[in-house]
């Protein structure tokens, strides 16, 4: 019986090629879009769950509270992890993990030309490969990190430095100072791992490295510390034990409170990558909407074509077929359409996957596509789609009464027409919402990139350098400045828009402690970035005393509770305020400008901070310069003073734009899936217009015989659909307005939602609908009326 039903379904599919194609293509597009988002969201939520004991692993976080302002540091002291493991019974194991401060230069000792800058170098306890479930391809996981200056490399690092040669036993040079011996090779870390490394060295090596000796000796909170708890342990009680285990955590003199928090390993990804987590819940909603559009498109065409199958149902019922048997037939028929659409959609998803994830700047292992959990998710998606797509047509078609059908009264009933109108309004309503959202997001992104932030970002290149180059700051900067295209230069500790330091201070006339963001820069920084003075220094040489001079912004006056003219007043009784800058955005536009303090250091200071720890040089390039040629000249100077670290540069504008990756990703997804939604809606409208034209062919033939023009016939077929589209626009506009109003509340600086955005979306949707309908309407209107009247 089922075989017979499938034969009938296949014949129906072949017989109605236009409708079948529209159904299959529309459903395939919706499923492909849904699969892409399922892959993306599934990948984001799968982070770190591949570890065998993932549910019991936690990372320790230190909370420091100064007055009312808490800050969170994802580290503990060097000794605190092992001590806690010994004294707290609920802790089963402990692991210390330390990523390198900055990019390090790694060199193959046997082939010095194989030298690269690496930013995935870390140190870990010997139990690293027992604690985590990373695969060790060579080496004994219990002993590969036992000895100082031993290192395990990833597959990609082994191939990069040694090619096909076995690297075990070979030697690496770390910053041309320390020799590390390769003791093992690990499989590349999965793309859904928050712990990512190419080199993991024994943590005991750090005791002999001057860069880290101070952190270890003074037990600074510098080490990422993971705890594996017993399955019966209560993390909250362990947090309390960590606090008591590490002594009195309150420094009453400085009003500082410290406590430890435990963060589940499986939640760390979203904590570390706020850009990824900010809108992750929106994407499943977009996937559901796209799939609903495809299903509605299918259901709409199925109800439209139901009248052509009604006599078949009536005859079968007269011959004794029960409703259940007819429902099963049409359920299997719809299931066949869905399975074919799913297969087409899957191959479409695989084809689009590299482009889609490249567009979003997301790395994903190909193996994840075939992971059991993803295959299970796709299987569930197939079952849900089959049920939703098949159940309504099966119920509708099996419900026809044979007497009504065979008497030809079915066409007079309006139930099906009402459902089709609802589906059309729903489809275009969703499309209009997506279009308006895409427009608002695009305008907000444009506003971000062109807002007046108080900083002149044009043609400024940032060149990070190490302490080796910083020790020669004067000649280094002089040679950069001597490049004809460089009009000005400056030095600082950190690249702008990539972080700042924090200082705890007491506000004036109060014992309350607050955190004050700080930047350490040289005397040219203010003029190079075009920063404006709110209260200029009395002495133009305001940087006269390097150790105690400070410049604050306007917001800092209120934050520090300063009264009257702040010039000459002191911060913490130590740093004298020499000037006040107008507020400028030194971080993202998501938040209002916060207080800021600039410490001005001369480049020629023998003990300048960049001579101790490195920094960044800002070079402003003259307009209309040959940028590639100028970059090459900067590289030549850089390599003269920086012999180990490879040349890197970043434009200030790019660093500013990089703060909005999450919004940029959201804009790209909305743009892509708005296109999907419009295409699906167009296909559904085309199918309905085709069906209505066929259904009314005799009426159109009579009208043409009686003198109706092509224009009249086209208007007749178009007006009902266009009314539905206008109704969809009217319903969708306030919905989109509310959604985008809520979204814009996330930004301290934002655009206003304007009427033209709705006018543009509405007009565009109407034009798309008109073009879709007109193609079929004009084709029908130009048909010879004698053919229509001759048709039975």
Look up the domain containing 326 and give its range. 1-47+279-413
CA 464 to chain centroid, in Å, comes to 26
Q: Is 649 within the bounds of a domain?
A: no
- Kindly report which listed range (42-46, 250-254, 497-501, 515-519) carries the lowest average pLDDT score: 250-254
Same domain for 296 and 246: no
CA 422 to chain centroid, in Å, comes to 35
Same domain for 235 and 181: yes
Q: What is the mean pLDDT of residues 342-355?
A: 88
| pLDDT value at residue 305 | 61
Same domain for 379 and 286: yes
- Which spans in 319-408 are helix H? 323-359, 366-369, 372-398, 402-406
Identify which of 629, 312, 592 has the alpha carbon closest to the alpha carbon of residue 461. Answer: 629
Same domain for 541 and 495: yes
Domain final position from 590, 614, 644: 644
- Kindly report which listed range (139-153, 493-507, 530-544) carries the lowest average pLDDT score: 530-544
- Kindly report which listed range (71-85, 388-402, 443-457) carries the lowest average pLDDT score: 388-402
Higher pLDDT, 46 or 329: 46
| pLDDT value at residue 321 | 63
| pLDDT value at residue 67 | 63
Is a pLDDT exceeding 50 seen at residue 359? yes
| pLDDT value at residue 547 | 61
Is a pLDDT exceeding 70 seen at residue 288? yes
Same domain for 325 and 290: yes
| pLDDT value at residue 413 | 45
Q: Is 267 within the bounds of a domain?
A: no
Same domain for 534 and 589: yes
Same domain for 108 and 24: no
Q: Is 259 within the bounds of a domain?
A: no
| pLDDT value at residue 3 | 67
Q: What is the mean pLDDT of residues 10-15?
A: 66
Quick one: pLDDT band at residue 147, thresholds 50, 70, 90?
very high
Is a pLDDT exceeding 80 seen at residue 121? yes
Q: What is the mean pLDDT of residues 707-717?
A: 73
Q: Is 458 within the bounds of a domain?
A: no
Tens-place pLDDT, residues 583-603: 999 988 888 899 999 988 876
For the chain, give the mean pLDDT.
81
Same domain for 624 and 505: yes
Q: What is the mean pLDDT of residues 668-696?
A: 75
| pLDDT value at residue 428 | 86
Is a pLDDT exceeding 60 seen at residue 306? no
Tens-place pLDDT, residues 237-272: 888 888 776 654 444 445 567 788 899 998 888 766
| pLDDT value at residue 297 | 77
Q: Is 408 left (phi over 0), alpha (psi -120 to 50) or beta?
A: left
- Kindly report which listed range (66-75, 236-245, 737-746, 748-757) carries the lowest average pLDDT score: 66-75
- Kindly report which listed range (104-108, 121-125, 130-134) carries the lowest average pLDDT score: 104-108
- Kindly report which listed range (89-93, 651-655, 709-713) carries the lowest average pLDDT score: 709-713
Higher pLDDT, 55 or 64: 55
Is a pLDDT exceeding 80 seen at residue 125? yes
| pLDDT value at residue 304 | 60
Residue 492, beta-bridge partner list:
521, 616
Same domain for 234 and 318: no
Higher pLDDT, 124 or 514: 124
Residue 372's Cβ-count burial label (10 Å; 0-12, 13-18, 19+) is exposed
Residue 488, beta-bridge partner list:
620
CA dist 236 and 306 (Å) reads 61
Tell me the HSE value of 192 on the side-chain side, using a 13 A CA sphere.
Answer: 23
Residue 683's Cβ-count burial label (10 Å; 0-12, 13-18, 19+) is buried
Tens-place pLDDT, residues 24-35: 888 888 888 888
Same domain for 250 and 123: yes
Same domain for 228 and 292: no
Quick one: pLDDT band at residue 405, thresholds 50, 70, 90?
very low
Same domain for 479 and 392: no
CB 210 within 8 A of CB 174: no
Quick one: pLDDT band at residue 533, thresholds 50, 70, 90?
very high
Quick check: helix, strand or coil at residue 328?
A: helix
Quick one: pLDDT band at residue 137, thresholds 50, 70, 90?
very high
Q: Is 637 within the bounds of a domain?
A: yes
Between the two ends of the chain, the Cα-to-Cα distance in Å is 33
Rounded to the nearest 10 degrees, how much is the dihedral formed by the CA atoms of 35, 38, 43, 48?
-140
Domain final position from 644, 672, 689: 644
Identify which of 175, 26, 205, 203 has the alpha carbon closest to the alpha carbon of residue 115. Answer: 175
Identify which of 109, 198, 102, 191 has the alpha carbon closest to the alpha carbon of residue 155. Answer: 198
Q: Is 274 within the bounds of a domain?
A: no
Quick one: pLDDT band at residue 715, thresholds 50, 70, 90?
confident
Identify which of 201, 255, 249, 252 has the alpha carbon closest to the alpha carbon of residue 77. Answer: 249
Q: How many domains does the chain have?
A: 4
Quick one: pLDDT band at residue 619, thresholds 50, 70, 90?
very high
Q: Is 7 within the bounds of a domain?
A: yes
Task: Show the tokens assigned to 613.
Answer: 């720890």
CB 200 within 8 A of CB 128: yes
Domain final position from 591, 620, 644: 644
| pLDDT value at residue 148 | 92
Q: Is 315 within the bounds of a domain?
A: yes
Higher pLDDT, 149 or 783: 149
- Kindly report which listed range (183-192, 418-427, 742-751, 763-772) carries the lowest average pLDDT score: 418-427
Q: What is the mean pLDDT of residues 764-785?
A: 76
């Amino acid at each position: 019986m089922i075989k017979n039903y499938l034969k009938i379904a296949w014949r129906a599919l072949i017989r109605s090629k236009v409708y079948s194609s529209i159904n299959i293509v529309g459903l395939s597009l919706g499923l492909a879009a849904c699969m892409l988002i399922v892959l993306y969201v599934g990948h984001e939520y799968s982070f770190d769950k591949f570890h065998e004991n993932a549910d019991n692993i936690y990372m320790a976080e230190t909370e420091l509270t100064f007055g009312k302002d808490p800050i969170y540091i994802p580290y503990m002291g060097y000794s605190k992890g092992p001590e806690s493991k010994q004294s707290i019974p609920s802790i089963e194991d402990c692991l210390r993990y330390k990523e390198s401060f900055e990019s390090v230069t790694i060199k193959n000792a046997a082939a010095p030309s194989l030298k690269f800058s690496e930013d995935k170098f870390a140190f870990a306890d010997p139990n690293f490969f027992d604690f985590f479930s990373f695969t060790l391809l060579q080496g004994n996981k219990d002993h590969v990190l036992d000895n100082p200056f031993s290192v395990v490399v990833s597959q990609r690092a082994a191939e990069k430095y040694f090619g096909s040669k076995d690297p075990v036993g070979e030697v690496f040079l770390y910053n041309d100072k320390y020799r590390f011996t390769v003791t093992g090779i690990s499989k590349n870390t999965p793309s859904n791992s928050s712990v990512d490394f190419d080199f993991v060295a024994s943590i005991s090596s750090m005791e002999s490295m001057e860069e880290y000796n101070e952190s270890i000796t003074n037990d600074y909170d510098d080490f990422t510390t993971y705890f594996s708890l017993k399955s019966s342990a209560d993390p909250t009680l362990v947090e309390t034990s960590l606090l008591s285990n590490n002594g009195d955590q309150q420094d009453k003199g400085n009003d500082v409170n410290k406590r430890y928090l435990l963060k589940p390993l499986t939640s760390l990804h979203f904590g570390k990558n706020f850009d990824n987590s900010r809108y992750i819940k929106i994407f499943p909603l977009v996937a559901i909407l796209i799939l609903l559009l495809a299903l509605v498109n299918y259901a709409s065409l199925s109800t439209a074509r139901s009248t052509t199958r009604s006599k078949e149902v009536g005859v079968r019922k007269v011959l004794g077929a029960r409703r259940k048997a007819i429902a099963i037939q049409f359920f299997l028929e719809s299931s066949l359409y869905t399975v074919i659409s799913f297969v087409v959609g899957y191959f479409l998803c695989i084809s689009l996957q590299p482009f889609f994830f490249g567009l979003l700047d997301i790395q994903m292992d190909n193996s994840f596509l075939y992971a059991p959990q993803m295959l299970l998710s796709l299987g569930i998606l197939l079952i849900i789609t089959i049920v939703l797509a098949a159940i309504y047509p099966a119920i509708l078609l099996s419900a026809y009464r044979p007497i009504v059908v065979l008497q030809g009264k079915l066409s007079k009933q309006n139930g099906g027409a009402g459902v089709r109108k609802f589906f059309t309004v729903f489809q275009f309503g969703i499309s209009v919402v997506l279009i308006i959202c895409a427009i608002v997001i695009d305008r907000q992104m444009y506003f971000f990139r062109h807002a007046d932030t108080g900083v002149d970002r044009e043609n400024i290149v940032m060149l990070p350098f190490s302490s080796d180059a910083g020790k020669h700051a004067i000649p280094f900067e002089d040679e950069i400045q001597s490049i004809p295209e460089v009009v000005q230069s400056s030095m600082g500790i950190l690249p702008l828009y990539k972080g700042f330091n924090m200082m705890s201070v007491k506000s004036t006339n109060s014992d309350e402690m607050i955190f004050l963001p700080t930047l350490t820069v040289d005397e040219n920084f203010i003029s190079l970035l075009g920063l404006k003075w709110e209260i200029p220094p009395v002495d133009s040489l305001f940087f006269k005393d390097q150790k105690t001079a400070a410049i604050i912004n306007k917001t800092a006056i209120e934050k520090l509770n300063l009264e009257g003219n702040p010039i000459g007043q002191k911060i913490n009784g130590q740093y004298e305020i020499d000037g006040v800058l107008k507020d400028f955005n030194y971080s993202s536009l998501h938040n209002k400008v916060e207080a800021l303090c600039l410490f001005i250091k001369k480049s020629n200071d023998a003990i300048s901070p960049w001579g101790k720890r490195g920094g960044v040089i800002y070079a402003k390039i003259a307009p209309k310069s040959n940028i590639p040629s100028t970059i090459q000249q900067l590289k030549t100077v850089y390599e003269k003073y920086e012999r180990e670290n490879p040349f890197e540069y970043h434009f200030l504008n790019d660093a500013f734009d990089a703060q909005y990756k999450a919004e940029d990703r959201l804009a790209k997804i909305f743009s892509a899936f708005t296109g999907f939604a419009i295409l699906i809606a167009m296909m559904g409208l085309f199918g309905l217009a085709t069906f209505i034209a066929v259904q009314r062919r005799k009426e159109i033939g009579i009208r043409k015989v009686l003198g109706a023009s092509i224009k009249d016939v086209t208007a007749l077929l178009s007006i009902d659909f266009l009314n539905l589209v206008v109704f969809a626009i009217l319903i969708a506009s306030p919905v989109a307005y509310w959604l985008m109003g809520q979204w814009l509340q996330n930004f301290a600086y934002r655009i206003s939602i304007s009427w033209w955005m709705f006018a543009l979306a509405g007009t565009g949707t109407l034009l798309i609908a008109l073009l879709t309908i007109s193609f079929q309407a004009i084709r029908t209107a130009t048909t010879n009326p004698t053919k229509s009247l001759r048709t039975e």
